[in-house]
Amino acid sequence: MNPAPLSGLYSPSLSLVTDLYQLTMSYGYWKKGMQDREAVFHLYFRRPPFGGGYALCAGLAYVADWLENLHFSEEDLAYLAELRGVKNTPLFEPAFLEYLRQLRFTCDIDAIAEGTVVFANEPLLRVKGPLLQAQLLETALLTLVNFQTLIATKAARIREAAGTDQVLEFGLRRAQGFDGGLSASRAAYLGGVDGTSNVLAGLRYGIPVRGTHAHSWVMSFEDEEQAFETYAEAFPDDSTFLVDTYDTLEGVRRAISVARKMRANGHELGGIRLDSGDLAYLSREARALLNEAGFPNTRIVASNDLDENLITSLKLQGAQINAWGIGTKLVTAYDQPALGGVYKLAALRRADDSGWEYTVKISEQLAKTTIPGILQVRRYETETGQPRADMLYNSAEPLPAELTIVDPVDPTRRRPVRSTTFRELLEPVFRAGELVRPLPTLEESRVKAQQEIHRLDPSIRRFLNPHVYPVGLEETLNAFRTQLILEKRMMRPA
């Protein structure tokens, strides 16, 4: 067997996009007769990425698409039937594989909408349904939500640094494979970039596609000016010249020479691109040359391993850059390669169906101790929509008349709730396995993201030592969690 390494990879069934232990646990639940016990899992992250004060929720559209097509194909089942244990016996018995053949997704999913600003420990997704099904979803949900949330957040930070300048995503060649590049382009656009070089992302998601030319174009001609002239002939109204192949400022002068010829023929040079060297100095010099020659509207595009921190520095140095091409450090989430999202069991229906048994995983680090219950996230806001504080509470239990939010890491920090303006962030997406409402378009989520970010206080949005936005547990939930922790610790032998 020697299948095509790429063309056959993305088959209609993606049910095996999972870790083996999801299947072995599911087999164990099935063997024990626990497969249909109702369970609740939450997907969340423990700290915002990049040392920032928030994250931008993304990936839900991928999740919905994957869930709507969730099934085990005959090819999937044939492969699982071949798996062997250490004694060379089948890992899964045929009756379990037949169970998987008949399996259809029937869970309820509540989720925070893409483009929503989110914070540590808040469930981005809540899964409620048969234990076996909910367990099987873990790896794929984390894969789809973790990466896109990470990239959308990075893009939002770059957008913040660039201000009103154009930001373009140029990272496909440095992405982690085709899927990583496609997912990154989508998430980056949601997070605030204006376009991408990724043509497939343009086709699939309607993202504006942009691009210039490479150094190889210039090197293919006898001289730089001829290269620019030929490109201008091909794209008389859509030319941006890469000017740093040999000598950057001489390249700018040659671009100006060609731009004069273009203007004589009724066309304008769109821009020049700087891809190396001292971008602050070179952009200032290039701007002066362009202005002096009568081309004040010709844009200066910069690339070369840029991120939000370098853009901020270049702006402080007076760089004359109008557009930013961001590649490697955006699509690879440079300086934090993973979000670190987790998927934890929080409630399990009792075997006698008498109610919920709430679960907690304890740790020596309180930040890693899970939160029991069927959680909802309530965001309290000012009358103008500015977020004030988020409260996690157990939606299966009644709320007290007087509400207090307790810091889950430091229970001595408490905040009484006086605001009457709030919204519930987890919204129904699936009920009994059926999509119950159309999801927003990518463009709608992108607009929402910018609105959400600009409602945040600047102290939370800043890159260095951001203010910690208040997120806490409703007081009775915190007390119950503490009680559960104490009970679990009392089980330990002295």
Higher pLDDT, 366 or 87: 87
Q: What is the pTM of this model?
A: 0.95
Which residues 6+ apart lie within 8 Å of 488 measured at CB? 360, 362
Q: What is the pLDDT of residues 247-264, one digit of tens each?
A: 999 999 999 999 999 999
The answer, yes or no, to whether residue 306 has pLDDT greater than 70, is yes
> What is the DSSP code string of 424-486?
E--EEEEETTEE-SPPPPHHHHHHHHHHHHHHS-HHHH-SSS-----EEEEHHHHHHHHHHHH
Place 10 in a pLDDT band, splitting at 50, 70 and 90.
confident
Whole-number pLDDT of residue 9: 62
CA 270 to chain centre: 32
- The domain limits of the chain are 20-151+337-490, 159-331
Cβ 143 vs Cβ 395: under 8 Å: no
Percent of the chain with pLDDT strictly greater than 90: 91
Whole-number pLDDT of residue 4: 63
Average pLDDT over residues 158-164: 97
Residue (of 427, 456, 380) closest to 160 by Cα position: 456
The C-alpha atoms of residue 194 and residue 165 are separated, in whole angstroms, by 9
Whole-number pLDDT of residue 342: 97
The C-alpha atoms of residue 91 and residue 84 are separated, in whole angstroms, by 5
Q: Mapping DSSP to helix (H, G, I), strand (E, B) and coil, where does residue 238 land?
A: coil
> What homologous superfamily is domain 159-331 in, according to CATH?
Aldolase class I (3.20.20.70)
Whole-number pLDDT of residue 230: 98
- Is domain 20-151+337-490 classified as CATH 3.20.140.10? yes
Average pLDDT over residues 49-66: 97
Whole-number pLDDT of residue 1: 46
The C-alpha atoms of residue 198 and residue 319 are separated, in whole angstroms, by 27
The answer, yes or no, to whether residue 8 has pLDDT greater than 80, is no
The answer, yes or no, to whether residue 68 has pLDDT greater than 60, is yes
Q: What is the pLDDT of residues 194-212, one digit of tens each?
A: 999 999 999 999 999 999 9
Q: What is the pLDDT of residues 335-375, one digit of tens each?
A: 999 999 999 999 999 988 889 999 999 887 777 899 999 99
The C-alpha atoms of residue 57 and residue 59 are separated, in whole angstroms, by 7
Whole-number pLDDT of residue 74: 96
Whole-number pLDDT of residue 493: 61
Place 492 in a pLDDT band, splitting at 50, 70 and 90.
low
Rounded (10°) angle between helices 138-162 and 442-455: 60
Q: What is the pLDDT of residues 404-456, one digit of tens each?
A: 999 988 889 999 998 889 999 999 999 999 999 999 999 999 999 999 999 99
Lowest mean pLDDT among 6-20, 254-268, 353-367, 466-480: 6-20
Q: What is the pLDDT of residues 385-401, one digit of tens each?
A: 999 999 999 999 999 99
Whole-number pLDDT of residue 419: 86
